[in-house]
Each structure stands twice: as C-alpha cells, then as structure tokens.
C-alpha cells in the first residue's frame, strides 16, 4: 500500500459525513464523495481530496503505476507551466485551435499556459536524448495534474478543470514497433480496469483516429451518467463510438450489425500519433543505414481522478459507495457500539491486532454516536468489510463481520477473522 | 521504498549524462542535476523530473510523509486553482499586496489564480467540519505543486516558479495547545533534515514573526549558494536571520554575542498564524462553556524540490553528486566492464541476486561504453555504492565495492556483499 500508515481513528479524522451535498452539485459521484467527506468542492470542476479520498486516489494511482512499470514505462514528472514556443510549432497554442487553455503571464515577461497534455514538451525533451535507432523504443509516463478550461463542469470529478491524469507516451522506430507496444498498452489497460473493479462494464471502443491511423481506441465504461454514446456489440465484446458509427466502419470491423446503444464514460484512450509531433519538433534518429527518420509516437491517457468518479457512479447503491477491495481507503471498517468498557476495550484490542497484521483499518471509536448513525456512515463510506464489536457480538462469541455488498453478517471468532483477512 | 520497481538497466534508461549543462544555467544544483539527467529545464525556474530525479524527489517526499504521519498529520490534497473570493477576504489577492501570483480566467467567467500557499482554502474547508472544541486539535498536510511568479529564477530547483511543497497546517483551541504542536513540528523537521543528510549543516533560525508571535522559525542550511544571510551562534547551535538580527533580539534570546555570519538556504519554516485566517474566514468553534472562539492556527512549510537542490549544493564534490543513502535514486550502481561473456554473465547474476534481495540497483550494462566513461558517470550520478564486475575483479575473487564518498574500493565475495547490504 502506498501509505505510511494503515490505521485511522474516526474520532480523530477531521472529516465528517453529511446528510446533504451542496445544492449546486448535480453528479452522483460528487454528491456521494462530498457527503462521505472524500472530497471538497472548491469551485465548479475544482475539488480537494480529503484524507479518505486521497487514499482512494493513491490506491488507483498505484495500480496504474504497477501496470505501467510492467510494460516497461519509465516514470517522470513534467511541469504544468508550458513553453508557448513549442505549442506554436505544432499549431496548438492559438485559442482558435485549442479552446480549453488556461493562459497566464510571467512577471518577467512572456506568455505561458497550464498543460492540457504533454506531447510538445516531452517530444522536445526526447530530442535531446534520442540520437540513434539503438536508443529506441522506449516509453515514459507520469501522474500529473492537468488543467482544462472547460466551459461546463457538472460531472463531478469525472470532468474536472484540474485533475490527475496518467499520461504515457511511446517512442518507436516505426509503425510496426509502435503497434507491438500499442497492443501491450491495451492489455495493461484491461488489467487496470479489472483490478479497480469496473472491468465487467468496460469495453474497448473504436473511435476516430488521426492522420496516422484509421482509429484510436477508447475504453468506455457503461453508465447512464456517461457523456459519450457508444454502440456495443455484446457478443464480440467491443464497441464503436457514435462519432464513427458508420456503415463503412462497421464493414471495416467485419462484425455483424448487432449493436446496442449505451451511454458510457471514457475511462482511457490510446492513440497513434505517428510522426505529427516528432516532425514538428525535430525528434528524429539515425537509422541502421545512417539515414535519418522521425520517431514514431503514441500517447495513452487515463484520468486517475475520473476513474475514482466512475467507480462511484457505477458501483454505488442507494445507501452509499461500494469500493472494490483494491481501491478502498481501508479494507476494514471497525465499529464499536455503545460505550461500555468491555466493548470499547475489546474493539481496541481487535483494532491493534488487525493493524499489527498489516490490515488497513478505519476504527469508528466515536463514543457519542449511536449504532444507527454508525451503520449509515459505514454504508455511505463503502469500506469492503464492516466489523462490529457490541455487547451482543461478544455474547455470541466474537465480532460481527459483514461485507458491504451483502445484507447479512456473521459472528466470527478472532481466529476466523485473521484467517479471513490473511 | 515508494516505487513499483527497484531495478533499472542503464542501457534502457532514456536519459544520458552530459558533459555540459545549458549555458544559461547558473546554479550548481541545476548544472549537476541536468548533466546527470535527473532533471530537464523547460524554462527559467520550471523543470521536469526525469526518472532518476523523480526517484530522489519521491524518496524525500516519503521521508517527510513519515515524519508528518508520526506527529498525527492527516494527508490531503488541495487544487492549484484558487477561489479569488477567499483571498480577497484576507486581503491577499491584490497584486499590490502579494506580488507573485500567476492569475488566469475561467472561460465560463471570473478570475482565478494558481495557489502560492493554501491557508485560505484550507481554513474555508475546516469551517465546514469544525464545530466544537471536541473537534480540535488536529493537523493536515499535503504534497502539492505551488506556483510563484518570481521575477528572477536563477537558483535552479531551489527556487522554482513551479515546485513541490509540503505544507502542514495546525488547528488548535488556543495558543498553549498550538505551542505544544509547534514544538513537535520542530522535532519532526530536525528528523527530516537529519535523515536526508543535511542535519549537520542545518540550524534552527529565529526570523520575523507576524501579528501573533515575536518570531517565526526557519531551518537554514549553511551554503555559499544560499539566498539568506544568518548569524550563527555555534555553541548554542541556533541562528538569527539577518532580517531580525538586532540588539533587542539578541538580548531577548539571552545568549552571548558570539555570532558568525553565513550564507544559508531556507529549507523549512514554521509559523504561528494565530487567528489571522480563522477570523477573516469564519473558522470558529464552540468552547466548553458554549461560547465561540476562533481557531488558533499554525503553518509549516518544506520545499521538497528545494531540499533536493540543497542536497546537491552542499554534498557534491568536483566529480558530481553525492546522494545520502535514504534519498539516493538507487542504493547500488552496478557496473560491468568490458563485453567479455563471463563478465557480462556474472554481472547479470549479481544484478538479479541483489534485486531479489530487495536492494535498489541501477545496472550499467551498456556494452559500447568504456570503463573511464562508466566511472565518470557513476561519480556524476552519485549513487552511494559502486559495484564493479570486471575480469580483474573476478580474478581477485569477487566484485569491487566502493563507496561514493571513498577513494578506494575493495574486492568482496558475493556473501560479503549480501552481508554488507543486509
């Protein structure tokens, strides 16, 4: 786990749950996340991540990092402030061409903007390091805060004006080498969506390409709150984005005309850039015959904060959030009911024992809160396992363990609990 | 270690070392870090962190995180985009009052700025969570990218226009409770500077306070490249910033007038805010007698990227960087010399064995690079232990191990090496 602590006392946690979200919040993800104290709304499309929310965000980040490392990606970190000159070379500076820049000025003179993506500066960096075909292929990625000056922001953390993105860029000798890596990323993305618990709702989707490829690929998660419309071929398990859903494309893909329309959330995209950026910014290499060739590039995005919002959209129920185990802020939500000494003491013992075993525990040790409110909070916060210590559970010989996804719990002994969380 | 991998092949690493830094780079830290491929200069005061540099930055971040967690800090993450309204309430929005804002506009209308610090939005968040004295005290912290529109930027990553900062904020019932926490932070900061290897050069320094305290405290690291001037009392181990070095202050501190002037780098500061922000933004609590009182606040900063620059400034030698063990990008720099099969094979075996033992290793497996260049690179990169596999070392019965800080190495067997890095 990417944390320096795996324990938290709810009585010390500064956030509290609320009955109501801000009136101006329209999205389910923001509503539940604000009510649970996971995030705080600063302005439309601009959110803070509070302790519980940051833990979820970091868990997702860590899963993405592991999968990026597994395909050989080298992690780096680019700045938000952008050098206008580079973006002018690719004709992406002008507000007429790219309409969602935040622009500002240096006091020392000159314009700058807040990075909406990082092809330009990265291509520039690589032009200082890539000389020969021997330096290729490779790929780099980052977790970096992107800024996009959206006109509207009403999808909660699914479309922020400031948001955390994982962007991966690949640098290959030619298209064949590029395609090999591109296919690896496809698989890595599938692993990510499966691990964060939305794999069963997420489909590889054909979308519009660029100069260098007929299609790009998106990963779309079915959800009525999605901003995209896709046509899903259930049997083949692939989809086509409405923007390219034409007779020609269907024929191209060679699958029968058996599509169903869905709303969906774009949770990832992979894109063949070809030599668009390397040619504009002078990123070339010496090939084996001493000739010069432009580097063949690809880019691959995942909105980490958007993933968090998507999980809430598609996995919550009417009581609150349901975090999948790998992304949950804690694995166990321990509740002590009543302020009787015996219960308090047993609950604290169990807390220490679980933490000692390396299990992440949020302990609701609050003494002035009734059972009903603690249960409601536990449902809202959505931690996978709820463990209740009460007079009744102790009389029944242990602690009541209930999964967030199940209606009924069962009383288990300490040994059984350790076995369960091993 | 905060990484998903503890191995790296230098032949695959996209960065390369260079003989020269950019001509416009005046600071030693930026010069060495750029030559080593740790960072890339995007614009004056704006840098990218490349794979080796990001590992150092993350190591420092993790040390700071551990120490903040140890004193009870709860981690969160605020956005860069700021709500102008909050800053107007504390009179810190106007460029006449605060001269280093980057300001920009929402396409949907209205001004915003990039956070130079976060007292205002955090106080606002807390006003939604703090009600009673029972909710206090607590503290929160973040690792967050700050933006400061400096007129000049010539100190490399020691004074960036965009930089990574750890900012901690405390919320207490009154001054006494505040002071108790303030003292804990002092100790946590000392732990941090000691762990990252600059403790012996870093002094608690009295600096100007605010409305609520006579002094604030800085931690200053002696360095000729520092922007500050301090007067150090060697015997007492404390210093006074030039800005408050007056007869009155010396008398106040009650120590003899035996000070030496030094240039120093401000690596941390701790500050009593009192009720300046809580009063302006309405952060108050119900006390035990049902009265209302403003929350008493403190703020505590450490520039994480500045720490990285400081380490380079004060610990490098004329061959390159010398990373202390806890912050080094890797613990071991393994070099194979010559392309003979036996050497290559033995080096690879050692690499796998070290990685298997959980030791971080950068393996210089490059085949077209001579011994002299590999040694020079190792010195420049500054990894604590250099392990050389060569025909000679194998003939001598093992591998030559040399500390970056020592002139001579010694040939050790595999068993001895494992013992050493246990």
pLDDT digits (tens, 9 = 90+) for B203-232: 999 999 877 788 899 999 999 999 999 999
Query: Cβ–Cβ contacts within 10 Å for residue B309, how many?
Result: 28
Residue A11 Cα, gap to closest chain B Cα (Å): 8
User: Where in chain B do CATH 3.30.930.10 domains reside?
Assistant: 7-315
Residue B292 Cα, gap to closest chain A Cα (Å): 19
**Mean pLDDT to the nearest integer, A106-123:** 98
Phi, psi angles (nearest 5°) of residue B169: -135, 135
DSSP H/E element including A403: strand A399-403
Considering only CA atoms, which of B172, B144, B135 is closest in space to residue B294? B172
Residue A421 Cα, gap to closest chain B Cα (Å): 23
**What confidence score (pLDDT) does residue A122 get?**
98
**What confidence score (pLDDT) does residue B1 get?**
45
Helices B51-70, B304-315: axis angle to 10 degrees equals 110
DSSP H/E element including A175: helix A175-195
Residue A406 Cα, gap to closest chain B Cα (Å): 31
Residue B2's contacts (CB-CB under 8 Å, 6 or more residues apart) are A2, B58, B59, B61, B62
Residue B171 Cα, gap to closest chain A Cα (Å): 10
pLDDT at B252 over 90: no
**Nearest residue on chain B to A40, judged by CA atoms?**
B125
Phi, psi angles (nearest 5°) of residue B261: -80, 135
Beta carbons of B129 and A16 less than 8 Å apart? yes
pLDDT at B192 over 70: yes
Length of chain B: 422
**What confidence score (pLDDT) does residue A409 get?**
95
Q: Is the full-model pTM beyond 0.95?
A: yes
Beta carbons of A43 and B81 less than 8 Å apart? yes
Give the mean pLDDT of chain B.
95
**Mean pLDDT to the nearest integer, B170-199:** 98
CATH architecture of A332-420: 3-Layer(aba) Sandwich (3.40)
**Mean pLDDT to the nearest integer, B38-49:** 97
Chain B residues with beta carbon closer than 8 angstroms to that of A121: 42, 48
Residue A200's contacts (CB-CB under 8 Å, 6 or more residues apart) are none
pLDDT at A3 over 70: no
Beta carbons of A69 and B126 less than 8 Å apart? no
Q: What is the CATH number of domain B7-315?
A: 3.30.930.10
Beta carbons of A76 and B54 less than 8 Å apart? yes
Q: Which of B5, B40, B78 sits opposite A125 (nearest CB)?
A: B40
**What confidence score (pLDDT) does residue B69 get?**
96
**What confidence score (pLDDT) does residue B26 get?**
87
What is the per-residue pLDDT across A348-361, written as a single tens digit (0 to 9) for each? 999 999 999 999 99
What is the per-residue pLDDT across A151-164, written as a single tens digit (0 to 9) for each? 999 899 999 999 99
The partner residues of B363 in beta bridges, in order of sequence, read B9, B334
Beta carbons of A46 and B81 less than 8 Å apart? yes
What is the per-residue pLDDT across B294-325, written as a single tens digit (0 to 9) for each? 999 999 999 999 999 999 999 999 999 999 99
Beta carbons of A108 and B151 less than 8 Å apart? yes
**Mean pLDDT to the nearest integer, A210-216:** 82
Percent of chain B with pLDDT over 70: 99
Beta carbons of B51 and A74 less than 8 Å apart? yes
In a 10 Å sphere around its CB, with 0-12 CB exposed, 13-18 middle and 19+ buried, how is residue B179 labelled? middle
Chain B residues with beta carbon closer than 8 angstroms to that of A69: 4-5
pLDDT at B130 over 60: yes
Q: Which of A53, A75, A135 sits opposite B54 (nearest CB)?
A: A75
- Which of B34, B37, B46 has the most A C-beta neighbours within 10 Å, making it the best mutation to test the interface with A? B46
Beta carbons of A14 and B108 less than 8 Å apart? no
In a 10 Å sphere around its CB, with 0-12 CB exposed, 13-18 middle and 19+ buried, how is residue B44 labelled? middle
Percent of chain A with pLDDT over 70: 99
What is the per-residue pLDDT across A242-301, written as a single tens digit (0 to 9) for each? 999 998 888 888 888 899 999 999 999 999 999 999 999 999 999 999 999 999 999 999
**CA B115, CA B118: separation in Å to the nearest integer?**
7
Say yes or no: ipTM exceeds 0.90.
yes
Identify the band that residue B2 occupies on the pLDDT scale cut at 50, 70 and 90: low
pLDDT at A405 over 90: yes
Identify the band that residue A1 occupies on the pLDDT scale cut at 50, 70 and 90: very low
Check if the beta carbon of residue A371 is closer than 8 Å to that of residue A320: no
Beta carbons of B14 and A129 less than 8 Å apart? yes
**Nearest residue on chain B to A74, judged by CA atoms?**
B51
User: Where in chain A do CATH 3.40.50.800 domains reside?
Assistant: 332-420
Beta carbons of B48 and A74 less than 8 Å apart? no
Residue B298 is encoded by which pair of tokens?
């403190």
3-state secondary structure chain B: CCCCCCEEECCCCCCCCCCCCCCCCCCHHHHHHHHCCCEEEEECCEEEECHHHHHHHHHHHHHHHHHHHHCCCEECECCCEEEHHHHHHCCCCCCCCCCCCCEEECCCCCEEEECCCCHHHHHHHHHCCCCEHHHCCEEEEEEEEEECCCCCCCCHHHCCCEEEEEEEEEEECCHHHHHHHHHHHHHHHHHHHHHCCCHHHEEEEEEECCCCCCEEEEEEEECCCCCEEEEEECCCCEEEEHHHCCHHHHHHHCCCCCCEEEEEEEEEEEEEEECHHHHHHCCEEECCCCCEEECEEEEEEEEHHHHHHHHHHHHCECCECCCCCCCCCCCEEEEECCCCHHHHHHHHHHHHHHHHCCCCEEEECCCCCCHHHHHHHHHHHCCCEEEEECHHHHHCCCEEEEECCCCCCEEECHHHHHHHCC
Residue B35 Cα, gap to closest chain A Cα (Å): 12
**CA A127, CA A135: separation in Å to the nearest integer?**
11
Check if the beta carbon of residue A401 is closer than 8 Å to that of residue A410: yes
Q: Which of B66, B82, B107 sits opposite A149 (nearest CB)?
A: B107
What is the per-residue pLDDT across A22-37, written as a single tens digit (0 to 9) for each? 888 889 999 999 999 9
Chain A residues with beta carbon closer than 8 angstroms to that of B56: none
Concatenating the DSSP letter of every residue in A311-336 gives HHHHH-BTTB----TTT-S-SEEEEE
Beta carbons of B80 and A40 less than 8 Å apart? no
**What confidence score (pLDDT) does residue A270 get?**
96
Chain A residues with beta carbon closer than 8 angstroms to that of B37: 129
């Amino acid at each position: 786990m990417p944390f320096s602590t795996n324990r938290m006392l709810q009585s010390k946690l500064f956030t509290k749950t609320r009955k109501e979200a801000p009136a101006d919040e329209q999205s389910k993800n923001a509503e539940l996340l604000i009510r649970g104290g996971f995030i705080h709304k600063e302005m439309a499309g601009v959110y803070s991540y509070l302790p519980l929310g940051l833990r979820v965000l970091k868990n997702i980040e860590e899963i993405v990092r592991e999968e990026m490392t597994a395909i050989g990606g080298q992690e780096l970190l680019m700045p938000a402030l952008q050098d206008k000159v580079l973006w002018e070379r690719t004709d992406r500076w002008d507000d007429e061409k790219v309409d969602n820049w935040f622009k500002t000025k240096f006091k020392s003179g000159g314009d700058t903007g807040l990075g909406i993506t990082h092809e330009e500066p990265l291509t520039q960096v690589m032009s200082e390091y890539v000389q020969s075909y021997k330096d290729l292929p490779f790929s780099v990625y980052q977790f970096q805060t992107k800024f996009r000056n959206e006109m509207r922001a009403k999808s909660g953390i699914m479309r922020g004006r400031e948001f955390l993105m994982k962007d991966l860029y690949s640098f290959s000798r030619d298209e064949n080498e590029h395609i090999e890596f591109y296919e690896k990323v496809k698989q890595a993305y599938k692993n990510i969506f499966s691990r964060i618990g939305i794999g069963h709702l997420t489909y590889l989707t054909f979308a519009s390409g660029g100069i260098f490829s007929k299609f790009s690929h998106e990963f779309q998660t079915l959800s009525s709150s999605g901003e995209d419309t896709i046509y899903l071929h259930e049997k083949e398990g692939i989809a086509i984005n409405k923007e390219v859903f034409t007779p020609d494309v269907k024929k191209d893909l060679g699958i029968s005309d058996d599509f169903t329309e869905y709303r969906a959330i774009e949770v990832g995209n992979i894109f063949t850039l070809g030599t668009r950026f390397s040619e504009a910014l002078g990123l070339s290499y010496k090939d084996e015959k001493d000739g010069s060739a432009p580097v063949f590039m690809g880019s691959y995005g995942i909105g980490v904060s958007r993933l968090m919002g998507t999980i809430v959209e598609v996995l919550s129920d009417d009581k609150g959030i349901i975090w999948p185990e790998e992304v949950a802020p804690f694995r166990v939500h321990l509740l002590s009911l009543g302020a009787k000494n015996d219960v308090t003491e047993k609950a604290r013992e169990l807390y220490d024992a679980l933490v000692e075993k390396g299990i992440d525990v949020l302990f609701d040790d609050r003494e002035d809160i009734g059972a009903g409110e603690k249960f409601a909070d536990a449902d809202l916060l959505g931690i996978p396992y709820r463990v209740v210590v009460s007079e009744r559970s102790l009389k029944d010989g242990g602690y009541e363990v209930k999964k967030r996804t199940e209606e009924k719990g069962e009383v288990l002994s300490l040994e059984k609990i350790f076995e369960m969380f091993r």
